[in-house]
Amino acid sequence: RSIQTILSWVTPDQLPPSIADMQAVLARVHASAYTGSRGWVGVADAAILLDALHDMRMVLRTISSGRDALMLMPELAAHFDSGGGPIMVGGGSDVYSKTVVGVREGADCSSAALLILDPHYQGGATLGADTCAASRQELWDGRWVAWRPLDTLSATSFYNFGLSQRRAQHLARANVGAQSSLRT
What is the number of other CB atoms lying within 10 angstroms of the CB of residue 69? 23
Residue 75 has pLDDT above 60, yes or no: yes
pLDDT band at 87 (very low <50, low <70, confident <90, very high): very high
Provide the residue ranges of all domains of the chain, joining segments of one domain with +. 2-167
Q: Give φ, ψ of 21 to 5 degrees.
A: -65, -40
Distance from C-alpha of 59 to C-alpha of 42, rounded to nearest angstrom: 14
Q: Give φ, ψ of 27 to 5 degrees.
A: -65, -40
| All residues at 6 or more sequence positions from 160 whose CB lies less than 8 Å from its CB, including other chains | 42, 43, 44, 60, 61, 62, 89, 90, 91
Higher pLDDT, 148 or 34: 148
pLDDT band at 142 (very low <50, low <70, confident <90, very high): low
Q: What is the dihedral of CA 138, 9, 60, 177, to 10 degrees?
A: -140
What pLDDT does 42 receive? 81
**The CATH classification of domain 2-167, taken from the options 3.20.20.150, 3.40.1280.10, 3.30.360.10, 3.90.70.130:** 3.90.70.130
